[in-house]
Structure 1
Amino acid sequence: MTHSLDPGTANGIAQARFAIVGSGWRAEFFARLARLMPERFAVTAVVSRGEERRADVARAWGVPTAPTIAAAFELELPDFVVVAVPWAVSPGVIRELVAWDVPVLAETPPAPDLAGLRALWADVGQSGLVQVAEHSPFMPAHAARLAALRLGLVGEVTSVQISSTHQYHAVAVIRAMLGVGVGVGGDAGAGSSGVGFGVVDVSARTFTAPLVDPITRAGWTSDDTARDATTTIATLDFGDGRSGLYDFTDNQWHNPLRTNRIVVRGSRGELVDDRIVRLTGDRTVVESHLVRRQAGIEQNLDGFDLDHLSVDGQVLYRNVFQGARLADDDLAVAALLAGTAAWVAGGPAPYPLAQGCQDHLLGLAIGTAARTGVSVRTHVEAWAH
């Protein structure tokens, strides 16, 4: 079976055609991006077992549907397939698609536990057909920070502290930033470094304290009652003086009372959120700021859209999806879709399965250490090689 991008192009960009296995909340992200940018992306079919659900998806998403992967391929053979199903189901779907010799972009994590990761890697790891939809390092702000680190603004990166998202997502950002200057990254800045594939020592503790939770995934709660929320704080020792600090509170993704924070420390300075302090010469410490240019504010009539992020007048990240009016999370997913399409056409891999496996391995170690109160030392796994 061979794969090729649709020969039709828009603005010089080939349209990527992909199928989706799954019809839940995360699957809709990918379908929505195709609907917003039909010149770039098209959904060939959504695979969902239930007849009623397929009818709902066809009506609401405006895409073809199929009960099985084979039936979806009878409609049209896609360039790649997005797998967005429950954790326990994902490995089986990935195996089935690899058996079809079809490129895969699998939602995180690729398997639910360590045994599942090892088994999946043993079965499909050498196929070279599986990427993971780990979008966090592709977020515009993180991509800009990675670009700043590649410029050497803080010297050799030695420590990353993050408080914004959970487990494997946070680990992906830590590893990407610690890996600057070590590995070769993709266009969007996720990186494919070797950092974190060796032995890692993980320690963690949990703390419970009252917190108002005004917003959930379902929206505003209209409830200002403070209830117990758990915060997990973990340290990751990667060796060679490199470390990560993980800090996450229940529902931090949605709760506006817990803001995002990141600290990246290097040999010549540090980056704190959007502020960079560094040594540039003898007795010369300077401060710079990552600046976000957002269109559509006040008298700017270009529509509400991210334009670019820069530091000291140098653009670090430019939004190549302008016109779609995407939130940062959607921009990250769009970058993964575009990166996967480029990979299928012979370009660099956006986020290989080995990276996703290692992220989840360390995320699981954080969970185990937090639950037991005992430090966890990871082993070098097969995907490290």
Structure 2
Amino acid sequence: MTDRMSFALVGFGWRAEAFWRLSTRLPDVTCVGAVVRTPRELPVPGFDSLAACLDSVRPDFVVTALPRAVNPDIVTEAVARGVPVLTETPPAPDLAGLRRLWDAVGGSGLVQVAEQYLLMPAHAARLAAVRSGIIGTPTQVQVSSTHQYHAVSLIRGLLGAGHAPASVRATRTTAPLLDPQTRSGWTDDPVPKPATTTIATLDFGDGRSGLYDFTDNQSRNQLRFRRILVRGTHGELRDDEVVHLAAARTIVRSPLVRRQTGYDLDLDGFDTGAVTLGSEVLYRNPYPGLRWNDDEIATATLLQAMAAWVRGAGPAPYPLADGAQDHLIALAVEHAADVDRTVGTTTEAWTTV
């Protein structure tokens, strides 16, 4: 096996195209084909079925970027052929689907989930700060930034909650809000439209909790701040600042500083450098000179981590058990808001691995 790994895409929409585009700039991974329902011009060979793709180009792994309703069948088919899978989020549409998928492929050890949020530079730096122990043991994480399973991934990861069951309470409110941008670009719509905000509390036991706060389209609506708070036994992290007890009777506030090149007379070009806390480097951009945005950096990191794992040179990037747990809790948030009562997540087969 060579150091350069190959993968095939299943689907070629917005997300799949990003995996292909980023792979063209990476030295150790290449996209060798794509499975699409409708024949069309692609930058890689196209196939009308997964079987045809696997038989023809024999990729080292596949990346699925499909609607959640059809994704489990493709993941199961790939695993049946012994091919590792990086599946987009969420891996299945609902709890029953998660259970069926786990029953079919959970024991294979071949499935990873494309959950990239903790790999984004700012979040990766925050995670490094928390794990350094500067705020002691984390006890609560509050996230108002992204939706459902992505937010749950941030909460679980920063809290270190693992697969602990959660007791969930949630409410929804609706209020007018401008929606200036979507995935398609600027809307140029000057009229506020009803937007729903879901707020939920997650109790993981042992003094650990999370707060989920998301408004429709908040991921792209720049009229809403992104907020993140990690509370610990010895201090807390708020967005890009840490307060902690540095010594007896000495409380210190320290910023997380991101070096972004290309401003003013910095002629190195626009790029992300590193994120530091005092003299400690929490995060360093692994792709200097490529000038990628944070999501691109995270996605490329995930793709390379998948390739390294497949060739036995690195840890599992984000196992199916974690992706399933994220979605399990996200589903509980929506259900708790629907029924207006506390909902508890159950112990599932993947929570015992």
Match of 2:14 among 21, 25, 29: 25
* Range that drifts further, 289-298 or 272-281: 289-298
Separation in 1, partners of 2:238, 2:31: 39
The answer as to whether partners of 2:35 and 2:47 remain within 8 angstroms in 1 is yes
- 1:87-132 Cα offsets, whole Å, 9 max, x none, are 0110000000001101100000000000000011011001000000
Distance 1:148 1:198 in 2: 23
The code of the aligned residue for 1:293 comes to: R
1:327 to 293, 300, 303: 293
**Is 1:358 the counterpart of 2:339 in the alignment?**
no
Tell me the SS of whatever aligns to 2:290.
coil
Matched, 1:166 2:147: yes
CA distance in 2, matches of 1:303, 1:67: 42
- Whether contact under 8 Å (2:170, 2:336) holds in the other structure is yes
Decide which of 101, 124, 137 is 1:120's aligned counterpart: 101
SS in 2 for 1:117: helix
Note if contact 1:16-1:338 (Cα within 8 Å) is conserved in structure 2: no
Counterpart check, 1:46 vs 2:13? no
Q: Which residue is equivalent to 1:368?
A: 335
- Superposed, 1:286-365 pairs within 5 Å as 286-346=252-312, 347-365=314-332
Partner of 2:130: 149
Query: Where does residue 199 of structure 2 map in the other structure?
Result: 233
Structure 1 distance, partners of 2:332, 2:10, is 29
Distance 1:162 1:205 in 2: 15
Match status 1:70 vs 2:51: yes
Once the two structures are TM-superposed, the CA of residue 38 in structure 1 deviates from its matched residue by: 4.4
Partners in 1 of 2:284 and 2:222 — Cα distance?
26
**Any idea what the Cα deviations from partners look like across 1:233-281, whole Å, max 9, x if unmatched?**
0000000000000000000011110011000000000000001000011
Structure 2: how far apart are the matches of 1:341 and 1:156?
33
Question: In the alignment, what sits opposite 1:182?
Answer: none
* In structure 2, distance between residues paired with 1:81 and 1:38: 17
How far off its partner does 1:80 sit? 1.1
Aligned to 1:191: none
Structure 2 distance, partners of 1:280, 1:101, is 52
- Does 2:146 correspond to 1:199? no
Gaps of 5+ in 2: none
* Separation (CA, whole Å) in 1 of partners of 2:257 and 2:29: 30
Q: Is the Cα–Cα contact under 8 Å of residues 204 and 232 in structure 1 kept in the other structure?
A: yes
| TM-score normalized with structure 1 length | 0.89
Mapped contact 2:29–2:307 kept (Cα < 8 A): no
Q: Which runs of 5+ in 1 are unaligned?
A: 8-13, 180-194
Aligned match of 2:228: 262
Over the residues paired in the alignment, what is the CA RMSD in angstroms?
Answer: 1.1
Identity %: 56
Q: Distance in 2 between matches of 1:41 and 1:293?
A: 28
Aligned letter for 1:97?
Answer: A
DSSP 3-state at the match of 2:218: coil
User: Matched residues in 1 for 2:159 and 2:38: separation?
Assistant: 44
Paired residue secondary structure (2:12): coil
CA deviation after TM superposition for structure 1 residue 39, in Å = 2.3
Amino acid at match of 2:315: P
List 4+ stretches of structure 1 deviating above 6 A: none
Cα distance in 2 between the residues matched to 1:288 and 1:38: 35
Structure 1: how far apart are the matches of 2:21 and 2:33? 13
The whole-number CA distance in structure 2 between the counterparts of 1:104 and 1:139 is 22
Structure 1 pair 94/148, CA: closer, same or farther in 2 (3 Å)?
A: same
CA contact (8 A) 1:205 1:234 kept: yes
- Which SS does the other structure have where 1:143 is aligned? helix
Listed one character per residue, the Cα deviations across residues 331-377 of structure 1 (whole Å, up to 9, x for unaligned) are 11111101111111212101000000000000000011112212111
Superposed, which structure 2 residues align to 1:62-141 within 5 Å? Answer: 62-141=43-122
Q: How many residues in Structure 1 have an aligned counterpart in Structure 2? A: 351
Query: Which range moves more in the overlay, 120-129 or 340-349?
Result: 340-349
- Report whether the alignment pairs 1:246 with 2:234: no
Partner of 1:159, secondary structure, is: strand
Alpha-carbon offset, residue 34 of structure 1: 1.5
Residue 196 of structure 1 and its aligned partner are, at CA, apart by 4.7
Equivalent residue runs for 1:173-192 within 5 Å:
173-179=154-160
Instruction: Tell me the amino acid that sits aligned with residue 317 of structure 2.
Output: P
Using the size of structure 2 for normalisation, the TM-score is 0.97
* Structure 2 residue matching 1:87: 3-state secondary structure: coil
